[in-house]
């Protein structure tokens, strides 16, 4: 009986792959991830500055502690900042209200819920009709791995095989809604050890079957986190603490632009993504400077002092513009030199 259920789910998924394709989204409207370099890695060659286009499903997956929730909150906060509404689903029931406010998300003002099943997440999305039609509105789920089905809850599906089928059914119905209503949907997902990978396969994969990966127009893989430590002298004692993590993110799949670009983000506890820090590091590396600079002028030898100057003098946008220009120069150097195969 177990074998029959498994075959039915696989057969269903294969039919879905044959009959459906993910949407590419609305290239006119982009929502920032909170990281200039990640925005560029996602779609910098499609629209200047990059970002995530409206109308698509995005999956952010990776090991625990790599900043997936922070990334979701940053994107959700940017939706609110540009005047959009937010629907936040928290199956793990872990979103801290004070933490959310750090990104401009007030749980009492947004559509917040703690669903248990796959259907409870996706069905409300199709019924949702945000007030303003000229704004991008966002749906955020943290995380898909925590979702179950009614069958599993009732003890009728011991191995969770029904869940893959429900993801496939619900995503097929929902992805068209995202495009029609100009919604951006971002879901986080955990990874599990892939025991069937063999010597050359992926050692880890996201749970929930193949549907989430297939219907996602954009998949961001958090590769791993390195601790960011800081040392201070307090009452004559040197004290070192972990103040954040540095995570490398790969564009694992993209129907938006090119896949396999990478960007590093720094996440500082009680602050969020430190875009200024990574932008300063990028400019320093790409210009071959021995100090931190902006517009060719020295800021400081110290990254902390350089950040302070940028913030106090409101130079964030100027720094971001320099990063974009340098990135475009690099991208242009790798552009195709081949003669076009199409004629206009």
Q: Where are the domains of the chain?
A: 8-273, 274-334
Count CB neighbours of 234 within 10 A.
Answer: 7
Asked if residues 121 and 89 have their Cβ atoms less than 8 Å apart, the reply is yes
Count CB neighbours of 210 within 10 A.
Answer: 18
The two three-digit tokens of residue 142, written as one number: 């943290």
Query: What is the rounded distance in angstroms from the CA atom of residue 194 to the CA atom of residue 341?
Result: 41
List per-residue pLDDT tens for the chain, 344 residues long. Answer: 333 333 333 334 434 433 444 545 555 789 999 999 999 999 999 999 999 999 999 999 999 999 999 999 999 999 999 999 999 999 999 898 889 999 999 999 999 999 999 999 999 999 999 988 789 999 999 999 999 888 766 666 655 578 889 999 999 999 999 999 999 999 999 987 665 666 666 666 676 788 999 999 999 999 989 999 999 999 999 999 999 999 999 999 999 999 999 999 999 998 999 999 999 999 999 999 999 999 999 999 999 999 999 999 999 999 999 999 999 999 999 987 888 877 65
Q: What are phi and psi of 116, to 5 degrees?
A: -110, -30
Asked if residues 75 and 33 have their Cβ atoms less than 8 Å apart, the reply is yes
Q: What end-to-end distance do the CA atoms of the chain give, in Å?
A: 58
Query: What is the rounded distance in angstroms from the CA atom of residue 316 to the CA atom of residue 40?
Result: 16
Asked if residues 103 and 77 have their Cβ atoms less than 8 Å apart, the reply is yes
Q: Of 255, 214, 213, whose CA–CA distance to 53 is shortest? A: 255
**pLDDT attached to residue 13:** 40
**pLDDT attached to residue 91:** 95
Asked if residues 147 and 117 have their Cβ atoms less than 8 Å apart, the reply is yes
Asked if residues 55 and 95 have their Cβ atoms less than 8 Å apart, the reply is no
**pLDDT attached to residue 287:** 96
How do strand 137-141 and strand 111-113 relate by DSSP bridges?
A: unpaired
Count CB neighbours of 6 within 10 A.
Answer: 13
The two three-digit tokens of residue 107, written as one number: 């749980």
The two three-digit tokens of residue 25, written as one number: 């989204």
Asked if residues 147 and 211 have their Cβ atoms less than 8 Å apart, the reply is no
The two three-digit tokens of residue 118, written as one number: 């796959």
The two three-digit tokens of residue 59, written as one number: 């999956």
SS3 content of the chain, % helix, strand, coil (to 5): 35, 25, 35
Q: In the CATH hierarchy, which top-level class contains the domain 8-273?
A: alpha beta
**3-class secondary structure, 317:** helix
The two three-digit tokens of residue 36, written as one number: 């200039």
Residues belonging to the chain: 344
Asked if residues 209 and 56 have their Cβ atoms less than 8 Å apart, the reply is no
The two three-digit tokens of residue 150, written as one number: 């009614």
Q: Of 77, 69, 140, whose CA–CA distance to 103 is shortest? A: 77
Which residues neighbour 264 within 8 Å (Cβ) at sequence distance 6 or greater? 37, 246, 247, 248, 249, 278
């Amino acid at each position: 009986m177990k074998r029959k259920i498994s075959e039915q789910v696989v057969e269903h998924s294969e039919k879905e792959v044959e009959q459906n394709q993910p949407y590419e989204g609305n290239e006119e409207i982009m929502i920032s991830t909170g990281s200039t370099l990640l925005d560029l890695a996602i779609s910098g060659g499609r629209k200047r500055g990059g970002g995530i286009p409206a109308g698509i499903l995005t999956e952010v997956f990776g090991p625990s502690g790599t900043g997936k929730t922070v990334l979701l909150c940053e994107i959700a906060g940017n939706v609110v900042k540009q005047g959009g509404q937010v629907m936040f689903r928290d199956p793990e029931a872990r979103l801290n209200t004070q933490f959310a406010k750090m990104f401009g998300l007030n749980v009492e003002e947004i559509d917040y819920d703690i669903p248990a099943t796959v259907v409870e997440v996706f069905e409300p999305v199709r019924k949702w009709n945000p007030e303003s039609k000229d704004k991008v509105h966002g749906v955020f789920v943290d995380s898909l791995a925590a979702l179950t089905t009614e069958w599993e809850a009732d003890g009728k599906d011991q191995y969770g095989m029904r869940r893959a089928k429900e993801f496939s059914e619900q995503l097929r119905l929902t992805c068209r809604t995202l495009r029609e209503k100009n919604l951006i949907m971002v879901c986080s997902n955990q990874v599990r050890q892939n025991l069937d990978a063999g010597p050359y396969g992926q050692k880890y994969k996201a749970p929930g079957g193949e549907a989430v990966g297939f219907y996602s127009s954009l998949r961001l893989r958090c590769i791993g986190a390195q601790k960011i430590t800081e040392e201070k002298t307090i009452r004559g004692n040197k004290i070192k603490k972990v103040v954040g993590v540095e995570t490398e993110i790969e564009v694992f799949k993209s129907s938006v632009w090119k896949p396999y670009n990478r960007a590093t983000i720094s996440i500082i506890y009680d602050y969020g993504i430190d875009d200024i820090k990574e932008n300063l590091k990028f400019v320093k590396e790409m210009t071959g400077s021995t100090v931190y600079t902006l517009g060719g002028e020295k800021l400081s030898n110290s990254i902390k002092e350089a950040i302070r100057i940028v913030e106090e003098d409101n130079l964030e946008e100027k720094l971001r513009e320099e990063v974009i220009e340098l990135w475009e120069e690099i991208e242009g150097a790798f552009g195709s030199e081949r003669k076009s195969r199409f004629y206009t």
